[in-house]
Each structure stands twice: as structure tokens, then as C-alpha cells.
Structure 1
Amino acid sequence: MHTIYNVFSVAGMTCEHCAASITEELSELDNVTDVSVNLATGNVTIASADELSHPQVEAALAQAGHRLAS
């Protein structure tokens, strides 16, 4: 199986609680195998078996109280 890595910039991540809630919501998306949050850069790397759409990621981030950075 091929793994696809997507990197997204997330606005407003400031603490470990943010990282945990974002990881939890993104991990629930179909075919996601790993989520890595980097608070220092504001980036989230998502490993998945299939390509993820921006709307999927945006919806999961909204559930965690965050949004994609502009």
C-alpha cells in the first residue's frame, strides 16, 4: 500500500491541548494512518492511504476548533 503525506498549515495552534484535539479529529478521517503536529511551525502532517480533500481536513479542524491558515 502506498502512503500519501499531506502537510497543512493550521492557524491558532498554541499548546499541547490544541495538538491533541487536532490529532484526535484528523485521525478519525477515513484512511488516515498517522497525524503529526508541529506546534513550532504550525504544520500538521497527515499520512493516509488515499488523497485527502481540503474540505475533509477543514471540517475535521473545525471540529477541533481550528482552521487552515491562509
Structure 2
Amino acid sequence: METNMKPLIIIAVFLVFNSCAEEPTHPNIIYILADDLGYGEIGAYGQEIIETPNIDALAKNGMLFTQHYS
């Protein structure tokens, strides 16, 4: 009985490369705690007088939370 090794080799190579897949990355979470900082005092939430370019860039590329309690 003659076996065809080509399909077995292809399946083995596929399984080896599939198992070497990159592990999923965990999300980065940044928690900003500031005293006397209100909801409307950051540019990402509508502030136009005080400039907050770094926080605005983080908000633009991330998530904004508008329903919270303090």
C-alpha cells in the first residue's frame, strides 16, 4: 500500500505556522485623576479656551466616556 505524503506534509506545515500566530495584545487603559477638573474643561469634550492637545490626541484615538459619576 503506497501512501501519498504530499497532503500530510502540507497539513503539517500549515499546523506549525498556524500555531506560531502572534498572541493578542491587551488594551492600554489610562486613568487620569485630577482635582477640580470638570467635565467641560478638556478640549475633547468641547472646551475651546484652555488648550489640552495631548489629552485631545488620546481621546481622538481612543474612547470617550460621557456617563460617569464622581
Q: Shorter-normalised TM-score: what interval? A: under 0.3
Please state which structure has a larger fraction of its residues in strand. 1
**TM-score relative to the length of structure 1:** 0.24
Normalising to structure 2: TM-score of the pair? 0.24
- The structure whose Rg is larger is 2
- Of structures 1 and 2, the one with the larger relative CO (CA 8 A, separation 6+) is 1
Higher helix share: 2
